[in-house]
Structure 1
């Protein structure tokens, strides 16, 4: 008789990962639960939120009668996620720490711990996503240590695993998984990929998982919590006072504590002004933030977006893009934003003066002059 496949499931202490572990048990797998502590934080009552979540994850394992492990990646999170977050903000960019955490912590540190230390045949998480592999195909994958460098793909030929949207389009989390490596995706099962959030809650209610069902869903950046973002970030970055300047007449409308605190398209709360103004541009040298009134102002629109080096889930650019230097795609720059049709283009685009960075692409509308609004 064949031994049951061993799946190590990441448990956050929430309802989604708890139901993911339950469904894996129902499929007959040998399941182990692992709680990751990535950040030391106290809530408004002085209680460590991670400790409470860990207790909830442990209780899930007791209910499901599966082994429980706890690992700490606080140091790795600080070095690979939080430090990157601060560095990007200082440069005036707005990183998404959830994407970086999935790339470096959950689907690298945790993945290797599960495979190398716990002998996992596969890992699983409570993300609402799917891949192009069935469970049995996931178990057939082997972790191959590949040579680094330009020609590493010449040593093996494997069909790329696709990252697919979840059945619940509102809960779909592929946006946050967009930089996960092929190696990790090959060995990952997403048990909730074909389910809706309502159905997941129903499963939890019917299987004695009420303690996680009653918890509020975690939203926003985990390490900020309920604190005001500006106050939090200024604990780590030096204030750089500057002015809010109207894009229409260069009039100074107010002051701010740092140009890096604002995202293009963001609503800017300017003292003494009732009407909303939105961020159009930032001048890091002078520290000025240029703003425009109302959401339909022409300055808030662009018809071209240029990236730095792109992460391709399949590890290589699509053949169409390589061959034709352009291809149609569906695009979103924010979680839960509707997908829109756009054109990817390699190399220099007409009207673009700078040479693009190696591995960069440009994104524009299929029609050309039609404009895309900045996120706010």
Structure 2
């Protein structure tokens, strides 16, 4: 439970059923490491909300401190990527490494049996069980599916979890609309009913502060910001991590707004183009590395053929999936070609592939081209 309305309602729905149920709150960030105190930290308010909901539902709850695991398995590797100029997706890695990784490792086994515990979350996702002709398995296997509320679809954030983690997962609100979740919370007087959805990375807060946050961990590395069209240097940046592809560069004195089109790590240069719809902001071919199929022994056979395998692509959260073709390169990377050019496809982000509603897995965007 996070302290939000989604996990509160997930807990309520499970509490109405015959489960041996308890709640866990993850503490993933140690603010005391930065300021020497946890006073005023957002996680304290979240933990208080979790305890209030659990008291109303008569559920035992505990806090598990995973801040060290988060630092080692998510944050520190991401720092190196930010410093190099790419943009990692910490929410995706947190789900794989922490929520469906370190947390599952730390959960106590149920007292009533020798079986492993299940974990339920407030994610907007669904799961079904199925078999496939391409798999040697005869027992049903878990499939990660899009939720009923497409506007809140969080399968993108879950696309890197293992089959083992998915097999032990429950998504109690996946069949509901967000409006229905809030209405259930109001009806049953859960005090988180009107709590706003969280924005930005949990331990940083709002996105506007993110560059300043990173600058406290990454030393300055100034370089030029160059107009890709004219070749003129327009200003200096403090580090490649201070700009994201596709964003307004906010360069003073320009007649037209300039948008980040690319970064060159070797020359430490950020390139910008005029206008938010410039052709250099678009690409339709992605090279994807370290792709992990949730069913890793049932890889589509057409992947190695000239015609490739038809999929739907998501390269960021809350986008309409894009019809695409995926092929396997000789290097082992996947080459994903979208039917239409996409704006601001960002190296370091996640490319998740779907067969209709079924999320097949994901990999890291290594480079893009037209």
Q: 1: distance between equivalents of 2:331 and 2:244? A: 22
Contact 1:130 1:166 in 2 (8 A): yes
Give the drift of 1:114: 3.0
The equivalent residue for 1:357 is 331
The alignment partner of 2:104 has SS state of helix
Give the drift of 1:325: 6.5
User: Which ranges in structure 1 are unaligned for 5 or more consecutive residues?
Assistant: 1-10, 135-152, 348-355
Q: 2: distance between equivalents of 1:274 and 1:64? A: 58
Deviations 1:260-282 (A, max 9, x none): 32222222121333532111121
- Map 1:160-309 to 2 at 5 A: 160-210=141-191, 212-226=192-206, 228-273=209-254, 275-309=256-290
Q: 2: distance between equivalents of 1:96 and 1:309? A: 14
The equivalent residue for 2:351 is none
Contact 1:41 1:49 in 2 (8 A): no
Q: Which 4+ runs in 1 deviate beyond 6 A?
A: none
For 1:91, which of 68, 84, 103 is the aligned residue?
A: 84
Deviations 1:142-178 (A, max 9, x none): xxxxxxxxxxx98x76544211000000011001001
Q: CA RMSD in A?
A: 2.4
User: Judging changes above 3 Å, is the alpha-carbon distance between structure 1 residues 26 and 235 closer, same or farther for their aligned structure 2 residues?
Assistant: same
Give the drift of 1:232: 0.9
Deviations 1:259-312 (A, max 9, x none): 232222222121333532111121222221111111221211223111112111
Contact 2:129 2:140 in 1 (8 A): no
The one of the two structures with greater contact order (alpha-carbon pairs below 8 A, sep at least 6) is 2
TM-score (norm 2): 0.84
Aligned residues between the structures: 334
The equivalent residue for 1:5 is none
- Bigger CA drift: 62-71 or 158-167? 158-167
Is 1:36 matched up with 2:26? yes
The alignment partner of 2:71 has SS state of helix
The equivalent residue for 1:330 is 312
Q: 2: distance between equivalents of 1:323 and 1:315? A: 18
- Bigger CA drift: 193-202 or 270-279? 270-279
User: Which ranges in structure 2 are unaligned for 5 or more consecutive residues?
Assistant: 347-370
Q: 2: distance between equivalents of 1:318 and 1:185? A: 20
Contact 2:83 2:239 in 1 (8 A): no
The equivalent residue for 1:139 is none
Q: Whose strand fraction is larger, Structure 1's or Structure 2's?
A: 2
For 2:121, which of 120, 125, 149 is the aligned residue?
A: 125
Is 1:319 matched up with 2:301? yes
- Bigger CA drift: 105-114 or 336-345? 105-114
The equivalent residue for 1:82 is 75
